[in-house]
Amino acid sequence: MKIERIELFPVVLPLRSVLTLPRGASRTLAEGKQIILVKISADDGTVGWGEAGPSRRWSPETTHSTYTTIKHYLAPELIGHDAFDIQGVHSIMNTELATGLDPGQPVAKAAIDLALHDLICKKLGITLQTWLGSKAENGIELSYLVSVPDPDKAAEVTTKALAEGYKAFKVKVGHNPDVDVANVKAVMETAPDCVVWPDANQGYTLNQALSMARAFEDLGIEVFEQPIPMTDVYGMRKLMQRTSLSIVLDEAAMGIPYMIELLRREAVDGIAIKVNKVGGIHYARQMCDLARNAGMVLIGSGLMDAPIGFAASVHLFAAYGITFPADLNGPQHMSDDYLAAPFPMEGKRALVPTAPGLGIEIDEDKIRSMALDLSL
Ligand SMILES: [Mg+2]
């Protein structure tokens, strides 16, 4: 089965809310959630869907860069290649766009990877979870993302989210240490029986992170996500030595070579896995295997994924038996999508779809109605 055609569809999904990172708002309401959908058709008519949905204040790829990368550099090299040769496809992509500390424009490469996984699983008549070879979980509990300026607002949004059925809360910190502790405390007091953890998105200095870790320990927090810059290996090791919290690396856990280096330097004891930041399922599953075999804490995450990235993540996290609530906050922030039928949910637990491939049906009329003019 050969790859015959690769089509791109830039679309924009409407947002009901935005999230703020230490570098600023991840995107504006007016911008919406911009994604590049990728449709790969094989020579026997089988079709697979992938998507690139970068977040430019989280990592350096943009909607435009993922479009031009896939269209001009990746897609032309893959036409005629065996669709089942995922390793070979990644080798070709990595030859065209060099890898470095990360897999080299991983969000763009992930779009191709997801479409191929969808395609070959559809051809085989199995789900992506079955392809991954584990039925550890049948769904993933979603967390609510709290990104607010003060504790009053934190309590208000937590109350609302509890009423919607959320049982876990991730709090964006890394802006202002005093307000950050108050925000986390307000969420914990509003949702006393729930899992709560802070994510600083690299926003603290080492000294700030050390004192924040003490404050979070006092509150009874167990996980502290990416407190300091991903390049500060010394700091990550120091922090791990000085706190009982699990320091979970997200931005730093961008690929296998850097993760191995962090393991060698005893500077990692937990990672947040995102399908898109590592270049797709092919590498994400290897990182999960590495984390599991090294006895690390493994949590699921995303980049405000639209349904394709969301579905791929649910299949992967369920296959690896991740029971810690996942920060897959696409459904929280997006007010519409391109699915023909709603994603299967049980409360705020996303169920693994049971149809072959990613198990979701794309509404191509809806995609056309959501078309994004990139004005290239
Ligand atoms: Mg994070």
Q: For residues 12 and 138, what is the distance between their CA atoms, to the nearest angstrom? A: 30
Q: For residues 90 and 240, what is the distance between their CA atoms, to the nearest angstrom? A: 34
pLDDT average, residue stretch 169-180 = 94
Q: Quickly state the pLDDT bin for 26 (edges 50, 70, 90).
A: confident
107 in a domain, yes or no? yes
Q: For residues 359 and 127, what is the distance between their CA atoms, to the nearest angstrom? A: 7
Provide the CA 40 distance to its chain's centre, in angstroms: 22
Q: 158 and 109 in one domain?
A: no
Burial class (CB in 10 A: 0-12, 13-18, 19+), 286: middle
- Going from the Cα of 172 to the center of ligand 1, the distance in angstroms, rounded, reads 9
Which of 348, 358, 334 has its CA nearest to residue 53? 334
Q: 120 and 151 in one domain?
A: no
Q: Which pLDDT belongs to residue 175? A: 86
- pLDDT(23) > 80: no
53 in a domain, yes or no? yes
- pLDDT(18) > 90: no
pLDDT average, residue stretch 337-359 = 98
- Going from the Cα of 137 to the center of ligand 1, the distance in angstroms, rounded, reads 23
Sheet arrangement for strand 47-52: 3-13, 33-42, 47-52
Q: 74 and 169 in one domain?
A: no
375 in a domain, yes or no? no
Q: Quickly state the pLDDT bin for 369 (edges 50, 70, 90).
A: very high
71 in a domain, yes or no? yes
- Going from the Cα of 225 to the center of ligand 1, the distance in angstroms, rounded, reads 6
Query: Tell me: the pLDDT tens digits for 271-301?
Result: 999 999 999 999 999 999 999 999 999 999 9
Radius of gyration (Cα) for the chain, nearest Å? 20
Q: 115 and 166 in one domain?
A: no
Q: Determine which helix (DSSP H) or strand (DSSP E) holds 262, and give its type and residue range.
A: helix 256-264
Q: Which pLDDT belongs to residue 188? A: 98
Q: Which residue has the tokens 């969301």?
A: 310
Q: Which pLDDT belongs to residue 249? A: 97
Q: For residues 24 and 282, what is the distance between their CA atoms, to the nearest angstrom? A: 31
Q: 89 and 176 in one domain?
A: no
Q: For residues 84 and 71, what is the distance between their CA atoms, to the nearest angstrom? A: 21
Q: 90 and 183 in one domain?
A: no
Q: What's the mean per-residue pLDDT of the chain?
A: 96
Q: Which pLDDT belongs to residue 25? A: 77
Q: 141 and 104 in one domain?
A: no
374 in a domain, yes or no? no
357 in a domain, yes or no? no
Greatest pairwise CA separation for the chain in angstroms: 60
Please, are residues 82 and 2 in contact by the beta-carbon 8 Å criterion?
yes
Q: Which residue has the tokens 């603290």?
A: 204
Per DSSP (E only), the strands in 274-358 are: 297-300, 345-346, 349-351
Percent of the chain scored above 90 by pLDDT?
93
- Going from the Cα of 339 to the center of ligand 1, the distance in angstroms, rounded, reads 26
Q: 180 and 307 in one domain?
A: yes
Q: Quickly state the pLDDT bin for 190 (edges 50, 70, 90).
A: very high
Which residues in 214-223 are b (16+ Cβ under 10 Å) and which e? Answer: ebbeeeebeb
Q: 15 and 161 in one domain?
A: no
- Going from the Cα of 85 to the center of ligand 1, the distance in angstroms, rounded, reads 31
Query: Tell me: the pLDDT tens digits for 117-132?
Result: 999 999 999 999 999 9
Query: Tell me: the pLDDT tens digits for 52-103?
Result: 999 988 899 999 999 999 999 999 999 999 999 999 999 999 999 999 888 9
- Going from the Cα of 269 to the center of ligand 1, the distance in angstroms, rounded, reads 15
How are beta strands 223-225 and 246-248 bridged, if at all? Answer: parallel
pTM of the model: 0.97
Q: What is the CATH number of the domain that holds 286?
A: 3.20.20.120
Q: Quickly state the pLDDT bin for 27 (edges 50, 70, 90).
A: confident
Domain that holds residue 37: 3-125+363-369
Which of 8, 129, 142 has its CA nearest to residue 75? 8
Which of 272, 298, 273, 329 has its CA nearest to residue 18? 329
The DSSP line for 39-95 is: EEEETTS-EEEEEE---TTTSS--HHHHHHIIIIIIHHHHTTSBTT-HHHHHHHHHH
- Going from the Cα of 19 to the center of ligand 1, the distance in angstroms, rounded, reads 12
Q: For residues 96 and 105, what is the distance between their CA atoms, to the nearest angstrom? A: 11
Query: Tell me: the pLDDT tens digits for 294-333?
Result: 999 999 999 999 999 999 999 999 999 999 999 999 999 9
- Going from the Cα of 54 to the center of ligand 1, the distance in angstroms, rounded, reads 14
301 in a domain, yes or no? yes
Q: For residues 191 and 30, what is the distance between their CA atoms, to the nearest angstrom? A: 31
Provide the domain count of the chain: 2
Q: 85 and 16 in one domain?
A: yes
Which of 233, 289, 277, 211 has its CA nearest to residue 55? 277
Q: For residues 48 and 199, what is the distance between their CA atoms, to the nearest angstrom? A: 34
pLDDT average, residue stretch 135-155 = 96
Q: How many of the other CB atoms lie within 10 Å of CB of 263?
A: 15
Q: Which pLDDT belongs to residue 361? A: 97
Q: 75 and 139 in one domain?
A: no
- Going from the Cα of 303 to the center of ligand 1, the distance in angstroms, rounded, reads 9
Q: 191 and 116 in one domain?
A: no
Q: For residues 370 and 197, what is the distance between their CA atoms, to the nearest angstrom? A: 35
- pLDDT(107) > 80: yes
Q: For residues 121 and 123, what is the distance between their CA atoms, to the nearest angstrom? A: 5
